[in-house]
Amino acid sequence: MVALPEALQTSGADTDQEHAPVNAVPTADTSPQQIAERTRAFVQEYVFPVEREIVVDGRPMDDALRTELQKAAREAGVFGPLSPVAYGGLGLDTRALAYVLEAAGASLIGPIALNASAPDDGNIHLLAHLANAEQAQRYLAPLARGEVRSSIAMAEPPPGAGSDPAMLRTTAEKVDGGWRINGAKHFTTGADGAAFTICIAATSGGTTMFLVDQDNPGLTVGRRMPTLDHSAPGGHCEVTFNDCFVPDDAVLGAVGSGLEYAQVRMAPSRVTFCMTWLGLAVRAHAMSAERIVGRKAFGIPVADHGMAQAHVADNEIDIAAARALIHSTAAVIDEHGAVSGAARHAASITKTFVSEAVWRVLDRAVQLYGGLGVCEDELVARFLVEARGFRIYEGPSEVLRWSIARRVLRAYR
């Protein structure tokens, strides 16, 4: 397991979710490894054939294709690995997810096909722990079943909140019968075509989460931001809340507890990101190894050159270390709870290391491909470009290192 400072090993354990667990350990005849193997076969049979159209040729990942892939995933018995069983999912715990999502991540659109991609993965987890019965029926159920998509609006244009939630400028004012939200957001993943958005806004006495239907006249989805990554359904959008009225029952959880609730989502979301991106790194590693075995340079296979072998070895080391951290942190989350100090610390370590390790593996894969590795009609080139945001999304590496150090040093001050 991740080595934790003694002060963090039980820190926050008493803040575990009050709700009953929504994930379940697989039964003997559906072990994580068996589900992962089915997922791997499903991705190869159904996802790989359309992957190039999305990743290289620029075909939009629209809801028609998403629905088609998810229908196939459901028939293959691999749909909804993190959705509660009550809503048609597999309800896997975090340790089981580590196997399954790595298999799904072999393709950039594999997690989408399984209904396990951001931001829906984190929103399913958040709603499963916070939504009341009515909200669960209205928002969680269709989201977990893959009938709709969602988004979460947190990041704001400067000088608003980015990595520092204290800079939040979007506000929600209490009015008769509800709340009025005003503010601008950006990098709102999946907003174009989402059924609803979870908006995080500053309220009197703290920060609050609101469920906002996408047809609310006070909510405007602006342009899709032209980011390096293109495979996310609904893109990364600019969103504006202009005198956006929502009723009192739109509050998710308790008023003023929004940042605390964000922790429910944060650690699992960071680690599931790591699982899926590791899957892509594993695939790129295999693709580059196969290429250098079959290509000669200076009279011998490229695979027989020492420098090429060094890249292969370093990739293998990074993948093994990343996988070990992911499985270790998954155990911490399952044993201590997603909001525990131990889970937050382990997830920060894992996200920092894995995002950097995945980048190194993909960069080496491009290098081993040679000149073709920088051609955007080669999958390894697109993998590298798409992965660049992983070192920023869900916490930039620099901010996570700062938070890791603060937690460690706190015990010595």
Q: For 163-189, how does the pLDDT look when each residue is reduced to its tens digit (9 = 90+)?
A: 888 899 999 999 999 999 999 999 999
pLDDT in the model for residue 15: 35
Is it the case that residue 129 has pLDDT exceeding 50? yes
Distance, in Å, from the CA atom of 169 to the CA atom of 160, rounded to the nearest integer, reads 5
Is it the case that residue 289 has pLDDT exceeding 80? yes
CATH for 394 = 1.20.140.10
User: Is 212 found in the same domain as 75?
Assistant: no
Is it the case that residue 393 has pLDDT exceeding 50? yes
CATH for 214 = 2.40.110.10
How many structural domains are present in the chain?
3
Average pLDDT over all residues of the chain? 91
Residue 93: inside a domain, yes or no? yes
353, 317 in Cβ contact below 8 A?
Answer: no
Residue 361: inside a domain, yes or no? yes
Would you place residue 29 in the very low, low, confident or very high pLDDT band (cuts 50, 70, 90)? low
pLDDT in the model for residue 290: 96
Residue 8: inside a domain, yes or no? no
- As a whole-number percent, the residues of the chain with pLDDT over 70 amount to 93
Residue 5: inside a domain, yes or no? no
Sequence-distant (6+) residues with CB within 8 A of 395 are 163, 266, 270, 348, 351
Is it the case that residue 16 has pLDDT exceeding 50? no
Residue 269: inside a domain, yes or no? yes
pLDDT in the model for residue 76: 97
295, 365 in Cβ contact below 8 A?
Answer: no
Residue 21: inside a domain, yes or no? yes
Sequence-distant (6+) residues with CB within 8 A of 359 are 384, 387, 388, 390, 391
**7 vs 132, higher pLDDT:** 132
Mean pLDDT of 394-404: 95
CA dihedral 389, 393, 399, 404 (to 10 degrees): -110
This prediction has a pTM of: 0.91
Q: Which domain holds residue 357?
A: 259-410
User: Is 135 found in the same domain as 181?
Assistant: no
Q: Residue 390: what are its φ and ψ, rounded to 5°?
A: -60, -30
CA distances from 162 to 208, 211, 254 (A): 17, 21, 23
Domain boundary at 227, 252, 277, which? 252
Is it the case that residue 8 has pLDDT exceeding 60? no
Mean pLDDT of 262-283: 95
Q: Based on C-alpha coordinates, what's the Rg of the chain?
A: 21
For β-strands 196-203 and 150-153, DSSP reports them as parallel
Q: For 313-347, how does the pLDDT look when each residue is reduced to its tens digit (9 = 90+)?
A: 999 999 999 999 999 999 999 999 999 999 999 99
User: Is 137 found in the same domain as 35?
Assistant: yes
Mean pLDDT of 363-390: 95
Distance, in Å, from the CA atom of 39 to the CA atom of 239, rounded to the nearest integer, reads 35
User: Is 400 found in the same domain as 265?
Assistant: yes
pLDDT in the model for residue 158: 94
Q: For 30-83, how does the pLDDT look when each residue is reduced to its tens digit (9 = 90+)?
A: 899 999 999 999 999 999 999 999 988 888 888 999 999 999 999 999 999 999
CA distances from 103 to 122, 203, 245 (A): 19, 41, 42
**Hey, CA dihedral for 249, 252, 254, 258, is it positive or negative?**
negative
